[in-house]
Each structure stands twice: as C-alpha cells, then as structure tokens.
C-alpha cells in the first residue's frame, strides 16, 4: 500500500455529529477532501447550512442534517437512514458535546454548586449520545465487516483538569473507557474505534469562553507549547483514524494537546 492509498477515502460514507463549527467541521472537511461522501449534522441549522454550502463550494460531496443528539431515537434513525440511503457506513465521528462551565477552583464551579439538571444534560449529550452513535453505527459496520469509529474525548477525561467542570470531565472520562470497552467487541469484526482527546482548542464550545483572553490564559498555562490549538490542527489525526492507514489501531485514546498531558 503506497502513501496515497493509505489516506484515500473515495467511495466511503462518513457521518459527523457537531459538524457545523470547530473540530467537527474540521473533521468533516478533511474526510470530504480525501474523497468521502460526508453527512454533517448539528443542532444549529443556520451554522450547519453555512458550513455545508462552504464545503459544497469546494465541490465536496457533503450533506447536512439538523440533529439534536440528545434525542436518542432520532439520532439512531438518522444513522440508519444514512446507511440505507447510501448503501454503507464507513466512518463515524461522534463529536457533538457540551462543556460544563468553570473548573472546581472557581466559586461557581465547586462541587457544591454543580447543578444536577445540567449534570444530567451533559450525561445525555456527552455520554449517552456517544453510546447510541457507536451502537447504531456498529450494527451496520459489523454487517459490512469494516468501519472506523472516532470519538471526541478530552484530556480532561484522562487527568484532572482545573479549568473544566465536573460533568464535562466525568463524561469525557466515561467515553474514553467506552472506547476501550467497545473495541473488545468490535475488533473481531474489523471495526476499529478510537478516541481523539483534544487539549484546549480555540472553538466556540462553552459559548466561546476560550475567546476570553483571561480564560484562554488559564488553559494555556498548562500547555508546554504555550498556545491554544487551531481547529485545522485536528485534521491530521482525524484523517489518520478514519483511513486505511490506521487499520491496526483500535481501543486507543490519543491526546492532541500541545504537550499538556506530558507536563
């Protein structure tokens, strides 16, 4: 296999949640640029429409579907519909998620201040929706004896993270182990599943709190490279895990964090 075929996704069908902006948009764009047909989903119809039109303007084969991943039945129905409409499902990015506010050293982020309604909302969106995405997608991938599942975790799920809220850290830790656990079942079917664990990237998560210089400085203080990541910097790892190049990689949680987990 030469290097070109290792990253060639022509003829493959991809599905990406949380794809209107940030990391999800970067993931959708790179797999589309590598030849895949991509179904992009997001809860924000206006941002989704704008992003789909921008990628279609590059002559990429992308389609948009408005989706709230908290609606488990609709999530599963849309995944099934993609597989039925296009005849296969090869690559799935379970990327959609929410943040949970300030970290535990702040007054409103302390354990005593955690809102259980918000906690349960994060469980539904950051954990249950990922499980539903994996389970539904895997049904189709097992039948076709191939598939790539990629989950967006976080370095907040592999270590204590002073800048992240309790619910966010807990759900990201849970999906990291969900990836390891499900790899045991899926590996015999030639289906791989891996997680990308980003450090701080400049996206609109948490209502864009990383655009606040003081908040950004707090995150950057733990990053040896001394800066936030840019969404395009996720593309290389995303393409690797979606492509034939990663055929012997499964059950892993791979940090992409400017060295934060090494410090």
Catalytically active residues are: 168
Q: Please tell me the distance from the alpha carbon of residue 59 to that of residue 34, in angstroms, as a whole number.
A: 12
Contact 52/64 with Cβ under 8 angstroms?
Answer: yes
Helices (H) and strands (E) in the chain, counts: 10, 7
Residue 217: how many other CB atoms lie within 10 Å: 10
Contact 191/142 with Cβ under 8 angstroms?
Answer: yes
SS3 at position 41: strand
The span from the first CA to the last CA of the chain, in angstroms, equals 37
Q: Please tell me the distance from the alpha carbon of residue 51 to that of residue 111, in angstroms, as a whole number.
A: 37
In terms of C-beta density within 10 A (0-12 exposed, 13-18 middle, 19 or more buried), how is residue 40 classed?
buried
Q: Please tell me the distance from the alpha carbon of residue 242 to that of residue 142, in angstroms, as a whole number.
A: 16
């Amino acid at each position: 296999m030469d290097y070109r075929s290792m990253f060639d996704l022509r003829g493959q069908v991809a599905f990406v949640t949380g794809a209107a902006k940030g990391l999800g948009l970067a993931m959708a764009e790179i797999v589309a640029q590598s030849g895949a047909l991509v179904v992009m989903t997001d809860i924000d119809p206006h941002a989704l429409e704008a992003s789909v039109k921008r990628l279609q303007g590059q002559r990429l084969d992308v389609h948009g579907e408005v989706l709230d991943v908290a609606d488990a039945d609709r999530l599963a129905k849309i995944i099934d519909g993609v597989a039925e409409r296009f005849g296969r499902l090869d690559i799935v990015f379970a990327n959609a998620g929410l943040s949970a506010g300030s970290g535990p050293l702040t007054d409103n982020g302390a354990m005593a201040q955690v809102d259980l309604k918000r906690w349960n909302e994060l469980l539904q969106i950051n954990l249950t929706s990922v499980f539903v995405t994996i389970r539904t997608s895997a049904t189709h991938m097992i039948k076709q004896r191939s598939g790539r599942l990629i989950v967006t975790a976080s370095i907040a799920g592999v270590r204590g993270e002073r800048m992240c809220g309790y619910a966010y850290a807990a759900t990201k830790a849970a999906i990291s182990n969900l990836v390891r656990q499900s790899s045991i079942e899926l590996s015999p079917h030639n289906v791989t599943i891996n997680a990308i664990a980003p450090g701080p990237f400049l996206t609109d998560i948490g209502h864009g709190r990383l655009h606040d210089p003081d908040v950004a400085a707090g995150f950057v203080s733990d990053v040896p490279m001394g800066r936030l990541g840019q969404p395009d910097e996720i593309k290389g790892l995303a393409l690797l895990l979606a492509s034939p190049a990663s055929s012997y990689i499964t059950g892993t949680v791979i940090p992409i964090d400017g060295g934060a987990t090494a410090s």
